[in-house]
């Protein structure tokens, strides 16, 4: 920006008129606030209007109610739509979805941690690349194709039960499926099936953040811990786990919120009992009950707020 | 920081709710078109998958190319929708000219003023339509026609012939816990359609089984009738492992999941039968529910002239016959049943032409169901349906 001045100082000829681009550049240099505003205008517009705007339109809708007689939405403030959330059927849906999201998250963390640990600490070169590929590869194919193929795997006359049959373990599957609530006539029509597919689909989102967090733990710290006499278990509990915990929480935010919002997996695999996303979809369409759909979609937002607050209490964001 | 963001959201909320009011006010009454002008370039149609084919899936099934050749100013653009809910949502968004709405969506679209009256004088082939469909209550309100019938079909009882050597005669095999002819219980081996409209199927069964309830129309249920139907459906929940909504998932369930009987469309029956599976279908004594689709025009259709041209094209006999062969449905004009290569001369009978009188066609349940009665409206069907699926 100061180039013209330098030229002026060095040459005896009268100063050239600065070009328009230079003048704009100078003006912006003198008003850093304006520059900042211009640079941020587009992202702010996106965040403010598109993102917060749609979110608040949703909130506003949830305070209206559906007139039962005309079937039209009455646009006046009321809390009765939120009252409808407390019917037994809706509480069931909310509990079902939250318990599923929690179980899937814990399972994904337990499954994902050893894999991530191996990837970060032991695998190198070709093995590491292969492991990355193995974790990422499912993400490159269509989500729907993967869910539908799981339906075939878990079907009553599918690959999985055939495999168990070859091992003469059908009695074991039957015993598991006889469990009340989570069981059913086959894996593909039970909560167990829904759960297995959820874990499969969201596992990469758990492994990758944990892997990144383990990579950041300096090897010297682990050596120092051993030097000071800590047994491997102690090192793991006192050194590795606290340092990696933010990564686990980051992964759990993905798996938890993704399970909370998904409405396709439970529609294809499971016993037709609805999850929050499916209920929202059912209310907004032909029924035209947009207020109840909006109130139901506020529920996962509230659950996530609680979840993030707990994560913050656990100091999970301190490393970021 | 906190103050700023809450201020922003208040402004955005105010702006958006204002926009909602304006668009609601715009759709008030409107006169239908009186004459067709030149094409506007495009016609945008929301349709069921497989309803508007341009030969891309199978070159033999193409009823768009000839329309575009005859009307170079009307290029057809199709947006497919998998459920009635999706169709209503798309029509609420706007920007489309036509929708192939089923009876469970059509009255809702009319009541929500999303579709406009059709001037049948501008659809010269209107008189060729099966007269039984001319004034059907799912597209005619107060003597005004809000669409042109497109295709129809019945929800048949599909069954496995290895389990049922003799065809079942009643829907009871999917509603009541019982032992099937192969000696095993039907628990876990029957399915039902996954949609609130299925409540009408249960009402139809009760109408026959329990005449003292006085059910006339399975879509117009008063509170007592409705509660009796819900009780039946709660019992049914115990024997149904999964409800179907995607025909291909149901096909898979009949082949891999050991399902023996379910309500289904002729579409699945044809595909399974052609694949050599031991599957047949029957129309039980109680009759059946069915769908009858109507092409309706958006109240703010951006291309009304092209839309009218498509409406006329949509009921030409060639298209009607080809579509029936493709989709397993029945044409809305009977002359389409004869001499169609793809459909064959038996095609209409196979797809259920003879079932018309025994079919109660889908329509949206509304609170004001005529005759001074108050009925349970559709939004409660949805709420209760969700509860039933959850076992409540």
CATH number of the domain at A229, please. 1.10.3720.10
The predicted model gives B204-218 an average pLDDT of: 94
The predicted model gives A98-110 an average pLDDT of: 96
pTM summary value = 0.79
Looking at domain B154-289+366-389, its CATH architecture is 3-Layer(aba) Sandwich (3.40)
Give the residue with greater pLDDT, B15 vs B128: B128
Task: Please report the pLDDT score of residue A181 as a whole number.
Answer: 83
Task: Please report the pLDDT score of residue B356 as a whole number.
Answer: 92
According to DSSP, the residues that pair with B331 across neighbouring strands are B151
Residues of A in contact with B368 (CB under 8 A): 69
The predicted model gives A59-76 an average pLDDT of: 80
Residue B322 has pLDDT above 80, yes or no: yes
Residue B91 has pLDDT above 80, yes or no: yes
Residue A246 forms part of a structural domain:
yes
Q: How far is A27 from chain B (nearest CA, A)?
A: 28
Residue A66 forms part of a structural domain:
no
Task: Please report the pLDDT score of residue B5 as a whole number.
Answer: 40
Q: What is the 3-state secondary structure (H, E, C) of B260-281?
A: CEEEECHHHHHHHHHCCCCEEE
Residue A8 forms part of a structural domain:
no
Interface probe, candidates B81, B379, B381, B384, chain A, greatest A C-beta count within 10 A: B379
Residue A221 forms part of a structural domain:
yes
Are B171 and B232 in contact, with CB atoms under 8 Å apart? no
Report CB contact under 8 Å: B245, A267: yes
Q: Measure the CA–CA gap between B126 and A14, rounded to whole angstroms.
A: 85
Residue A26 has pLDDT above 80, yes or no: yes
Q: How many domains does chain A have?
A: 1
Residue A315 has pLDDT above 80, yes or no: no
Domain B32-153+291-361 identical in fold to domain B154-289+366-389: yes
Task: Please report the pLDDT score of residue A319 as a whole number.
Answer: 55
Residues of B in contact with A91 (CB under 8 A): none
The predicted model gives B299-307 an average pLDDT of: 94
Are B129 and B330 in contact, with CB atoms under 8 Å apart? no
Residue A59 forms part of a structural domain:
no
The predicted model gives B71-100 an average pLDDT of: 88
Q: Which helix (H) or strand (E) holds B57?
A: none
For the ranges A1-15, A202-216, B171-185, the lowest mean pLDDT is seen at A1-15
Give the residue with greater pLDDT, B317 vs A8: B317
Report CB contact under 8 Å: B257, A156: yes
pLDDT band (50, 70, 90) for residue B164: very high
ipTM given for this complex? 0.73
| Domain housing A144 | 89-313
Q: How far is A183 from chain B (nearest CA, A)?
A: 10
Report CB contact under 8 Å: B188, A185: yes
DSSP A43-68: HHHIIIIIIIHHHHHHHHHHTSEE-T
Task: Please report the pLDDT score of residue A1 as a whole number.
Answer: 46
Residue B311 CB-half CA count within 13 A: 30
Residue A14 forms part of a structural domain:
no
Report CB contact under 8 Å: A57, B105: no
Task: Please report the pLDDT score of residue A286 as a whole number.
Answer: 60
Residue B318 has pLDDT above 50, yes or no: yes
Q: Which helix (H) or strand (E) holds A75?
A: none
Residue A9 forms part of a structural domain:
no
Looking at domain B32-153+291-361, its CATH architecture is 3-Layer(aba) Sandwich (3.40)
Q: Measure the CA–CA gap between A95 and A273, rounded to whole angstroms.
A: 12
Q: How far is A246 from chain B (nearest CA, A)?
A: 25
pLDDT band (50, 70, 90) for residue A73: confident
Residue A258 forms part of a structural domain:
yes
Compute the Cα dihedral for B345, B350, B356, B360 and give only its sign. negative
What phi and psi values does residue A66 have, to the nearest 5 degrees?
-95, 125
Tens digits of per-residue pLDDT, B43-73? Answer: 999 998 889 999 887 888 999 999 999 999 9
**Can you give the residue ranges of every domain in chain B?**
32-153+291-361, 154-289+366-389
């Amino acid at each position: 920006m100061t180039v013209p001045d330098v030229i002026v100082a060095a040459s005896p000829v009268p100063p050239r008129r600065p070009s328009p681009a230079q003048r704009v550049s100078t003006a912006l240099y003198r008003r850093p606030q304006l520059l900042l505003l211009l640079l941020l205008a587009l992202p702010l517009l996106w965040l403010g209007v598109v993102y917060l705007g749609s979110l608040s339109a949703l909130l506003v809708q949830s305070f209206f109610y559906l007139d039962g007689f005309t079937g039209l939405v009455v646009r006046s403030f009321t809390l009765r739509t939120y009252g409808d959330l407390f019917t037994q059927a809706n509480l069931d849906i909310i509990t079902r979805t939250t318990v599923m999201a929690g179980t899937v998250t814990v399972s994904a963390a337990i499954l994902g941690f050893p894999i991530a640990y191996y990837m970060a600490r032991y695998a190198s070169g070709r093995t590491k690349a292969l492991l990355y590929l193995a974790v990422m590869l499912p993400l490159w194919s269509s989500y729907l194709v993967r869910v539908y193929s799981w339906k075939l795997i878990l079907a009553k006359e599918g690959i999985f039960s055939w495999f168990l049959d070859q091992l003469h373990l059908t009695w074991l599957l039957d015993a598991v499926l006889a469990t009340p609530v989570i069981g059913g006539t086959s894996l593909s029509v039970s909560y167990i099936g829904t759960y297995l597919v959820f874990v499969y689909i969201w596992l990469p989102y758990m492994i990758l953040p944990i892997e990144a967090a383990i990579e950041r733990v300096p090897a010297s710290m682990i050596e120092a811990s051993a030097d000071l006499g800590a047994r491997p278990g102690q090192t793991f509990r006192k050194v590795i786990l606290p340092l990696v915990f933010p990564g686990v929480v980051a992964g759990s935010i993905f798996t938890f919120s993704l399970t909370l919002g998904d409405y396709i997996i439970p529609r294809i695999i499971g016993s037709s009992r609805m999850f929050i996303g499916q209920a929202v979809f059912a209310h907004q369409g032909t029924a035209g009950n947009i207020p109840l759909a909006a109130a139901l979609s506020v529920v996962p937002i509230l659950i996530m707020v609680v979840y993030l607050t707990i994560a913050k209490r656990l100091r999970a964001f301190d490393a970021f | 920081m906190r103050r700023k963001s809450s201020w922003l959201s208040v402004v955005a909320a105010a702006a958006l709710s204002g926009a909602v009011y304006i668009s609601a006010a715009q759709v008030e009454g409107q006169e239908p078109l009186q004459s067709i002008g030149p094409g506007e370039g495009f016609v945008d149609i929301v349709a069921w998958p497989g309803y508007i084919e341009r030969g891309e899936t199978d070159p033999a099934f193409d009823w768009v190319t000839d329309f575009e050749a005859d009307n170079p100013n009307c290029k057809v653009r199709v947006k497919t929708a998998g459920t009635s809910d999706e169709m209503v949502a798309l029509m609420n968004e706007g920007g489309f000219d036509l929708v192939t709405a089923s009876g469970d969506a059509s009255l809702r679209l009319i009541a929500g003023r999303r579709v406009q009256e059709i001037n049948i004088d501008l659809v010269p082939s209107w008189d060729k339509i099966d007269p039984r469909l001319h004034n059907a209550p799912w597209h005619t309100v107060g003597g005004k026609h809000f669409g042109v019938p497109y295709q129809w079909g019945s929800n048949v009882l599909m069954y496995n012939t290895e389990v049922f050597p003799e065809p079942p005669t009643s829907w009871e095999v999917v509603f009541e816990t019982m032992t099937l002819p192969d000696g095993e219980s039907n628990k876990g081996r029957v399915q039902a359609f996954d949609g609130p409209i299925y409540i009408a199927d249960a009402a139809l069964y009760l109408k026959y089984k329990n005449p003292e309830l006085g059910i006339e129309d399975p879509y117009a249920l008063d509170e007592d009738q409705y509660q009796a139907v819900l009780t039946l459906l709660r019992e049914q929940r115990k024997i149904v492992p999964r409800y179907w909504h995607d025909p291909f998932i149901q096909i898979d369930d009949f082949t891999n999941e050991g399902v023996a009987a379910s309500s289904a469309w002729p579409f699945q029956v044809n595909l399974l039968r052609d694949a050599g599976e031991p599957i047949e279908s029957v129309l039980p004594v109680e009759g059946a529910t069915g769908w009858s689709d109507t092409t309706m025009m958006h109240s703010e259709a951006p291309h009304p002239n092209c839309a009218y041209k498509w409406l006329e094209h949509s009921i030409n006999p060639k298209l009607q016959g080809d579509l029936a062969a493709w989709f397993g449905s029945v044409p809305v004009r009977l002359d389409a049943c004869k001499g169609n290569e793809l459909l064959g001369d038996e095609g209409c009978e196979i797809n259920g032409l003879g079932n018309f009188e025994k079919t109660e066609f889908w329509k949206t349940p509304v609170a004001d169901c005529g005759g001074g009665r108050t009925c349970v409206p559709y939004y409660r069907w949805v709420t209760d349906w969700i509860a039933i699926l959850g076992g409540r």
